[in-house]
Structure 1
Amino acid sequence: MATNQQRREAAKRKLERQLARRAERAKRRRIIGVGVTVGVVVVVAGLVVLFATRGNDDAAADNASPPSSAGEQELQIPTERIDVPERPEPLAGPVNCEYPASDQPAAKEVEPPDGANVPAEGTVDVTLQSTAGDIPLTLDRALAPCTVNSFVSLAEQGYYTDTACHRLGTTGLQMLQCGDPSGTGSGGPGYQFADEVFPELKYGRGVLAMANSGPDTNGSQFFMVYGDAPLDPSYTVFGTISDEGLSVLDKVARAGDDGSFDPSPGGGKPNMEIKFTGVTVGA
């Protein structure tokens, strides 16, 4: 039988074992708690980095320029037409027009128009049928009778049919230039004629005017203004563009250009091809 001394020693050893086990369990709990805490800190830190990185990506995307693609170019296009220009003094008609041969051969063979007894009043409705949509025009003989006479003659001879517009301007001068079958910007009908300008001329949305390479060098090329056009009165205005036609021009303009005419004269070939498939001339 165990003595009292032995029982006390056994009880002491049991207590020591219990205390040791409790200390071990407490130590494990502390280790696990530290591990969990570290894990939480790592996860939180990871989330912070993730969100910070994603935030930077979003900021970069917000600040990056959008890709240039058809129909997506950001343009500031005026919505208001300018007032239709008028001559300060009406022309006494009819007038006689001269169409002498130019230094350059014709880009497409045509006959010069008859320049005798050309009307100097009234309008002519013309529709440019194109791959981008119809562009109805109103030609004004009172503004430029010799120009209207030439344009109608070229249209009726099929000069503009199957001809693509070769130059689009979107900054500064907002216009679409057409009328050169060669597509180079230097082609013409083989003849030229004098300017029909006056100091009060202004250019802006809705105006139809002749392109030239200097005084009295009008030929077949013309430009249609869909926006701003800060030009001197050196370009013959001979009509206006309908709202339907302006919608087509806006669409082409928003598709942008290839910059092939930069830095001078500026702009480039339209990214959206616009080719005339036919021209209808009314009364």
Structure 2
Amino acid sequence: MSSKREREYERRRYEKRQVRVAKADMRRHQRQVIATIIVVAIVAVIGVVGVVAATSGDDTAAGDGATSTPVVDATAPVTAEPTPEVTRDPLTPDPSVAEARTWTGDLTLNSGDIGIELDGAAAPQAVANFVTLAQQGFFDGTKCHRLTTDGIYVLQCGDPEGTGGGGPGYSWGPIENAPTDDVYPAGTIAMARVGNDGASMGSQFFLVYEDSTIPSDSAGGYTVFGHITSGLDVVTTIADAGTVDGASDGAPVNDVIIEGVKIQ
């Protein structure tokens, strides 16, 4: 690539990064406004309850047989299955965007094209999220930052920062369509997340290039929302080159850039 093309590429990446930062700032502001409204509403409800209690005329103390509202222990394990209403950030694309249908498209890397198919019926939240971000050009110019080559065989992408810690400015859950046997066949496309947190998905996803058994954790498995229909050899070629430091888990030795995503 010529120096002029490199400068143009870096300029486009910089402009897109600035747009993502601005959007993230706007989302944070919206969340702060929502949080403020919720706090005000809670304070108002508490005030009403206090007034009712003070004027009810019931001044007897609770005896041994009385029940009280249990105190929530923040350190206690959560055993209930989370629901989308509880774990979905208000900024997360609505699952209805997936239209409960199959989507097809292409993931274009600087090293080749990958054909993909997404299952909007089996994983509506994940597909709605991916389709929306793709249509916004969110993935364009981002780097696939992680490659694993031992035991688990995946290429991880979708982080706008290229560090493993970035995202779209929101997170969502719960986990959808995880395999019950923890087996992810070659060609699987699944959502990455924080360990033991089923509500931490954002924009990062991984491409499985060889059959992998990925153990579930306390949150469950990993959301499978699609599969590769062509171009798996593009990913295996990246994997064959290895990582920067030769380790089995690290950045690919050659930069892997998503140049664009077309989906329909």
Query: For the superposition of Structure 1 and Structure 2, which TM-score range results when normalised by the shorter chain?
Result: 0.5 to 0.7
CA contact (8 A) 1:168 1:270 kept: yes
Q: Tell me the SS of whatever aligns to 1:164.
A: coil
* Structure 1 residue 252 corresponds to structure 2 residue 238: yes
The Cα of 1:169 is off from its aligned counterpart by 0.7
Tell whether the 8 Å contact from 2:96 to 2:124 is kept in structure 1 after alignment: no
CA RMSD after TM alignment = 2.3
User: TM-score by structure 1 length?
Assistant: 0.56
- What is the CA-CA distance between 1:151 and the residue it aligns to? 0.3
In the alignment, structure 1 residue 188 sits paired with structure 2 residue 167: yes
Structure 2 partner of 1:211: 192
Higher strand share: 2
1:239 maps to 226
CA distance in 1, matches of 2:145, 2:235: 13
Work out the CA distance in 1 between the residues paired with 2:99 and 2:142.
28
2:253 counterpart residue number: 271
Using the TM superposition, give the Cα deviation of residue 258 of structure 1 relative to its aligned residue in structure 2, in angstroms: 1.8
Relative to structure 1, the CA distance from residue 96 to residue 140 in structure 2 (aligned partners, 3 Å threshold; closer, same or farther) is farther
For the structure 1 residues 153 and 97, does the alpha-carbon distance in structure 2 shift closer, same or farther, using more than 3 Å as the test? Answer: farther
Q: Which residue of 2 aligns with 1:227?
A: 210
CA shift, 1:274, in A, is 1.3
Paired with 1:217 and 1:134, the residues of 2 have a C-alpha distance of: 29
Partner Cα distance (2:235, 2:158) in 1: 15
Q: CA deviation at 1:165?
A: 0.3
Q: Considering only CA atoms, is the larger Rg found in Structure 1 or Structure 2?
A: 1
Cα distance in structure 2, aligned partners of 1:118 and 1:279: 17
Q: CA 1:227–1:153 in structure 2 vs 1: closer, same or farther (change >3 Å)? A: same
Equivalent pairs counted in the alignment come to 173
Q: What letter matches 1:241 in structure 2?
A: I
Task: List per-residue Cα deviations over 1:114-146 (Å, max 9, x = no partner).
Answer: 416445632111211110101111000122000
Aligned mate of 1:167, from 146, 151, 159: 146
> Could you report, residue by residue, the CA deviation over 1:194-242 in whole angstroms, capped at 9, with x for unpaired residues?
1114552531211100000022211000000001321135110000012
Q: Counterparts of 1:116 and 1:245 in 2: how far apart (Å)?
A: 28
Map 1:88-107; keep pairs closer than 5 Å: 99-100=88-89
Unaligned runs of 5+ in 2: 1-83
1:200 correspondence with 2:185:
no
The TM-score with structure 2 as length reference comes to 0.60
| Structure 2 residue matching 1:161: 3-state secondary structure | coil
Residues 225-273 of structure 1, C-alpha deviation per residue, up to 9 Å, x if partnerless? 001321135110000012x32110011011111248x6xxx61111122
